[in-house]
Amino acid sequence: MEGKHDLVQASTHNTELTYRVFSIMRQKKECHMEELLEGCESYPWEDVLLEVARLSRMGELRIVYKQGGEYAIRLCPPSR
């Protein structure tokens, strides 16, 4: 069972990871998943994948299938 402190840490961790993902994506606009994982090397790869999936569901990032079975991540344009 999670305590109140654990939820605060998870929220802070998520915010820091979100900031890191967006700072990488603003520079590149599109990158391979491996590049994003390397840029977020201080976080477990599972957390990075979950954050990318969450941001994709929110319409902030797009996961794009590339030739050869690879995936790229794109920063979605701002909505008007």
Q: How confident is the model at residue 76 (pLDDT cuts 50, 70, 90)?
A: confident
Closest C-alpha to 52, from 24, 10, 78: 24
Q: Residue 61's pLDDT is what?
A: 93
**Which amino acid, one-letter code, is at 73?**
I
DSSP single-letter state for residue 44: -
pLDDT, one tens digit per residue, over 4-14 is 333 333 444 57
Tens of pLDDT, residues 15-54:
899 999 999 999 988 999 899 999 999 999 999 999 999 9
C-alpha count within 13 angstroms, C-beta hemisphere, residue 55: 23
Domain 4-75 has CATH 1.10.10.10: yes
DSSP state of 60: S
Q: Does residue 55 carry a pLDDT above 70?
A: yes
